[in-house]
Amino acid sequence: MLSNTSRGGENTVRKTLKICSFILISLFAIGFCNIQGISAKSANVPSGASDVIYQCGEGVAVINLPSTLPTNYPPTATKMLIGVHIDSAPAKYAGIRLYVELWEIMPGDTEYEWQPWVEITTNANSQTLMKQFWGGCATEFNLAAATTYCSVYGIPTEFAPLLTTDNVLLVSKHVLTAFRCGDDVYIRLNAPQQIKQPMTTDTYWTLPALCLKLDGYGHSIHKETTITMSGWPGAWGGTFVTTQMGFNAAGTCTIPAWGYFNVKVSDGWISMNAKQTFYPPT
């Protein structure tokens, strides 16, 4: 992973990862509610925004990694966060998005951080949008800014070409599916995916095929979060606003390749309805 040689660089790394982590946790949650009800909402882009996406559900779960980690997983990783959006409007973004993060201690740090690793989508327009959104972070390093990134963190510039991970992946609707039935959410990744490790040219880890079920419980929660995607090299620079209504969730995860069958998740969340609004750099 990346090494820091200055306090300023270390703080920037922590800020970047914590912002990405907070965004992902805010973004993750799942569902398939009343499509007609969501579609009936205006899909017009709000004034000043560049894009908006309505969801008829979201879902997120945290699972423990195996005690013996699979090949090429970061050796300090202990947990995995799996989150999904079910995007319904506008039509150009309709589809499923899956996010996966690993829980690990970054070099030069003493606290565990969520490290954003991959986003998988069934919609090509969504893939293009999210590549821009994740500019400069570990999910999608901006290669054009790699030399600057190296300079800030004291990394030899010859490693610049290795910083791109290109982990915003496009898959077919047969590979990734998700739906919500009442307060229950079902997620299925039907084929394993190869995820590139940062700072490598040909090192990958495998995200295995999996099934996840979440059951919503507790009182309804409504929240709105505004986050500026700036402050690190290659950052998109715009502002992101997410609005969610949902519940805490319990659930089980099945990953046959790991011998996991109906293993309880350690934490979870379901959003019944959500909206994401993207405001471009000003």
Give the pLDDT confidence of 154-210 residue by residue, as tens digits: 667 777 666 666 889 999 999 999 998 888 999 999 999 999 877 677 788 899 999
Tell me the fold of 7-279: Acetoacetate decarboxylase-like (2.40.400)
Which residue in this structure is represented by tokens 């700036």? 230
**Band of the pLDDT at 30, cuts 50, 70, 90?**
very low
| pTM recorded for the entire structure | 0.79
Q: How far is residue 166's CA from residue 168's CA, in Å, rounded to a whole number? A: 6
Contacts of 175 (CB under 8 A, 6+ apart): 122, 189, 190, 191
Using the CB atoms, write b or e for 204-224: b if 16+ within 10 Å: ebebebbbbbbbbeeeeeeee
Mean pLDDT of 22-47: 48
Return the domain boundaries, the chain.
Answer: 7-279
DSSP line for 97-140: EEEEEEEEEPTT-SSEEEEEEEEEES-HHHHHHHHHHTBTBTTB
The burial of 126, by beta-carbon neighbours within 10 Å (0-12 exposed, 13-18 middle, 19 or more buried), is given as buried
Partnered with residue 81 across adjacent β-strands are: 62, 101
